[in-house]
Amino acid sequence: MDLEDEAGQREAAEKVRGVLARLPQEQRKALEMAFFEGMTHTEIAGKTGEPLGTIKTRIRTGLLALRKAFA
Amino acid sequence: MNGHPQFADALALYALGALDDAQELAALQAHLGACGECRGELEALRADMALLALSAVGPQPPERVRQRLLSAIAAKPRTVQMVPQPYTSSHLRRRWFSIAPTAAMVALAVFSLLLWRELSDTRRDLRRAQAQIEQFQMEFLTKDRELAEAKAVSELVHAPDVKRMTLISAHTPPQPLMKMIYSPQKGSLILMATNAPPLPENKIYELWLLPADGGKPMAAGWFKTDSNGHAMMFHTMEVAGINARGFAVTIEPSGGSSTPTMPIVMEPAS
């Protein structure tokens, strides 16, 4: 995909949003907290009350889903 | 996942700058130093993250994301326990990633600004186009009306029953009038003036004979009018037998002049 031109970027942005929307909710939330809110995995685990390992796995799975969509 | 599964999850967190376990961080960094495969995976994860950043720009970033960007900026600085580490390139990248929300926000602001400018440009163009259309309409209406008028005028002028007449003001002020009688052979003339404008005390009207042979104007007597603008003059030229192509009257100082002072105030009716 050509990200140089504006249309390409918009298309890509749409696609990313599509992928995010289809992610399981807990994966999406973990990704958003880490990326958009800048939280560390410890903070996320503290906030959601879930094990550290679970948070880690969700973040990685979410990122890989994005990669797969653009592969 | 290729590479080393035991580091896979930590690597993703590391790419996002969200790994804050000092021990784990140290172990991962040590491993990265030695493992090219995991370094490659880290680069790939960073590319994935760049895709994530894309979702924050574009025509309509979701309100939810916008709100989070705003709150991320407004939020107090994170209190992350980090082990002291040399200022390495990965450290720099971590710092870069930590400002990613701000960067996305800036991108959003820039994008909004571009859209806003485009919108105001478009509005200006629209206003210009509308003004032009109005002008064309006005011009068209004017032309249309002019054409209709011209047609009506033409029809009237050529109507079979047309009647023509001249009206003058019912209150036309009396016009100055001077009547003359001249006999070249006798060399004498009579002038009768009516409605001549009154002159100042030191001015007079002087009559000039314009010789038919094209010679200079010759003085032909002067006169003053009464309070009603009336005057009558009888004058005899110094020599008889001069044919006149016309006469003219000027205003001169008392006593008369030998050459006329312009302008001519009265001349023969053509």
Partner B contacted by A28 (CB < 8 A): no
How do the domains of chain B map onto residue ranges?
5-108, 177-266
Q: CA A42, B52, A13 angle in degrees (round to 5)?
A: 155
Whether B20 sits inside 8 A of A41 (CB atoms) is yes
Nearest of A24, A21, A31, A23 to residue A56 by alpha carbon: A31
Is the predicted pLDDT of residue B139 greater than 60, yes or no?
yes
How do the domains of chain A map onto residue ranges?
6-70
Whether A70 sits inside 8 A of B72 (CB atoms) is no
CATH class of this structure's domain B177-266: mainly beta
pLDDT (0 to 100) of residue B248: 93
Cα A58–chain centre separation: 9
Residues of chain A in contact with residue B15, where contact means CB-CB under 8 angstroms, are 63
HEC profile for chain B? CCCCHHHHHHHHHHHHCCCCCHHHHHHHHHHHHHCHHHHHHHHHHHHHHHHHHHCCCCCCCCHHHHHHHHHHHHCCCCCCCCCCCCCCHHHHHHHHHHCHHHHHHHHHHHHHHHHHHHHHHHHHHHHHHHHHHHHHHHHHHHHHHHHHHHHHHHHHHCCCCCCCCCCCCCCCCCCCEEEEEEECCCCEEEEEEECCCCCCCCEEEEEEEEECCCCCCEEEEEECCCCCCCEEEEEECCCCCCCEEEEEEEEEECCCCCCCCCCEEECCCC
Is the predicted pLDDT of residue B156 greater than 60, yes or no?
yes
Q: Span B118-142, mean pLDDT?
A: 86
Q: Which of B13, B20, B54 sits opposite A59 (nearest CB)?
A: B13
Distance (Å, rounded) from C-alpha B93 to C-alpha B112?
27
Is the predicted pLDDT of residue B81 greater than 60, yes or no?
no
pLDDT over 90, % of chain B: 11
Q: Smallest CA–CA separation between B61 and chain A, in Å?
A: 9
Q: What is the CATH number of domain A6-70?
A: 1.10.10.10
Structure tokens, B153: 């005028």
The parts of chain A modelled with pLDDT lower than 70 are: 1-6
For B:89-118, CB contacts with A below 8 A are 98, 100-101, 104
Q: Which of B51, B69, B75 sits opposite A16 (nearest CB)?
A: B51
pTM: 0.38
Is the predicted pLDDT of residue B68 greater than 70, yes or no?
no
Whether A63 sits inside 8 A of B71 (CB atoms) is no
**Which pLDDT band, with edges at 50, 70 and 90, does B2 fall under?**
low
**Least CA distance to B82: which residue of chain A?**
A40
Q: Which residue has the higher pLDDT, B97 or A58?
A: A58
pLDDT (0 to 100) of residue B76: 44
